Amino acid sequence: MISLRSRSNNERILAILMRQIEKMLKDMQSEGKDLSLLKFKKFQKTHHIDCNCKKCEEAKRKNDPHMRGLSEDGFKVYVGGKKDD
């Protein structure tokens, strides 16, 4: 039953996020942005190179920067300027 609760909780969170994104896009459109040039790009940001946590120490030892601990996960939105009609 715990998985059912977390699933419905995740669905509620997703619905809230979708409403916020929709509002943001409508605001951008009303500001004159051309949403046909809209691009979403996923990104992941890892710990700083000077970090000394266990994951980063292991990454340094193996000389593999992809093993660093994840500090941020999200997406960026790129939009073109106003239309020149």
Amino acid type, 34:
D
Question: pTM for this structure?
Answer: 0.53
The domain in which residue 77 lies consists of 34-85
- How many domains is the chain built from? 2
User: Does residue 24 share a domain with residue 3?
Assistant: yes
Rounded to an integer, what distance in angstroms lies between the CA atom of residue 84 and that of residue 49?
44
Regarding predicted confidence, which is higher, 71 or 22?
22
Distance CA 26, CA 17 (A): 14
Per-residue pLDDT, 42? 86
Same-domain pairing of 45 and 27: no
pLDDT, tens digit, 9 for 90 and up, residues 37-66: 888 888 888 888 888 888 889 988 999 888
41 and 80 in a single domain? The answer is yes
Residues 26 and 50 in one domain: no
